[in-house]
Structure 1
């Protein structure tokens, strides 16, 4: 039985990761990588994708270069991947238990999005899922110097909300994000215990 997602009684503000937390974008990211990497001779499998959870596109390409001995240009191929993702992102679905929680606490507690994704695509994701009306604070890859697992993303969210980090509850689906929340002294909640993910199925 899947447990119920709850807000910690100590929490005075909520911070949500986006991909894999509010938006079930992981299948879309998987297919974007798979479609692009075939040109470089890489068979991108769900198992391989699982080892790269929470790593931005440029970092993912760097890791694949190490693993496969390829010489892909990380920024260039990262942008190809993001363009492919944008083409198919309308197929994403919401992560219902997390979205319900955000809607429930909208207007009751300050809320922010802390994502490792690009700002424009993050807002587009929110619009597709109808979440843009629930959030006005979004900290993205362009807003920080250090990506997760560094706590900068979430600390910026706390600062923008005006709430001390120890009273912020972070909802995350990836280990880098969980590490970032803990490093920031926040309440870290892993959302993958609350819903099922299937990667690799046609979308």
Structure 2
């Protein structure tokens, strides 16, 4: 089905790994410390954004005055302790395994490198990917195309010959802006 593409790029959270429930739980725990609330529906629109940008939006929704970087660091520290015990691969990992060694593959995620590396290594999935591009590796995050363009560059594949697997509107927009084909995994 994906034979016409020269490179495959996968978002991580919610696409190949079932991390979303743990991320939401970590946010709720950290926000409770500050008497702030998580708007579950509004946060979905920010899937794919770096943690500090999500933190800034939450602070704005709650009329808070915290530093988004401090709040993001607290959430990241907590989620790291929670993820190793709770995260499992999603069914799309079968596509990764099926194409392993046949096409270059990359992960393009809005997660920080410390979280992405920890999860991919813990689950034994790092070996499948030629590149992992995280929020730490680009200046402009999804919906900007930079994450996916960097993946293509590291794989040595022209952008228009890549397909991106995504579960978030920001990521889908980023793939389209990069001139790549995109599969919305929410419809699979």
TM-score normalised by structure 2 residue count: 0.94
CA–CA distance in structure 1, aligned partners of residues 80 and 32 of structure 2 = 18
CA–CA distance in structure 2, aligned partners of residues 146 and 174 of structure 1 = 17
* Structure 2 match to 1:27: 21
* Structure 1 runs not aligned, ≥5 long: 1-5, 195-203
Q: Which runs of 4+ in 1 moved over 3 A?
A: none
* Structure 2 match to 1:197: none
Q: Secondary structure at the match of 1:23?
A: coil
1:154 equivalent to 2:151? Answer no
Contact map agreement 1:61 1:72 (CA 8 A) in 2: no
CA–CA distance in structure 1, aligned partners of residues 106 and 48 of structure 2 = 18
Q: Secondary structure at the match of 2:183?
A: strand
Contact map agreement 2:45 2:168 (CA 8 A) in 1: no
Q: Deviations over 1:92-129 (max 9, x none)?
A: 11111x10000000001110111111112101111222
1:118 equivalent to 2:80? Answer no
Deviating more after overlay: 59-68 vs 79-88: 59-68
1:89 equivalent to 2:89? Answer no
Contact map agreement 2:113 2:136 (CA 8 A) in 1: yes
CA–CA distance in structure 2, aligned partners of residues 162 and 52 of structure 1 = 29
CA–CA distance in structure 2, aligned partners of residues 108 and 148 of structure 1 = 27
CA–CA distance in structure 2, aligned partners of residues 44 and 184 of structure 1 = 31
TM-score normalised by structure 1 residue count: 0.87
Give the alignment partner of residue 189 of structure 1, picking from 167, 178, 183: 183
Q: CA deviation at 1:41?
A: 1.1
Q: CA deviation at 1:162?
A: 1.1
Q: CA deviation at 1:57?
A: 1.4
Q: CA deviation at 1:42?
A: 1.8
Q: How does 1:71-86 map to 2 (within 5 A)?
A: 71-86=65-80
May I ask how many residue pairs the two structures share in their alignment? 187
Contact map agreement 2:43 2:54 (CA 8 A) in 1: no
Q: CA deviation at 1:48?
A: 4.0
CA–CA distance in structure 2, aligned partners of residues 39 and 52 of structure 1 = 22
Deviating more after overlay: 122-131 vs 171-180: 122-131
**Root-mean-square deviation (Å):** 1.3
CA–CA distance in structure 2, aligned partners of residues 155 and 103 of structure 1 = 23
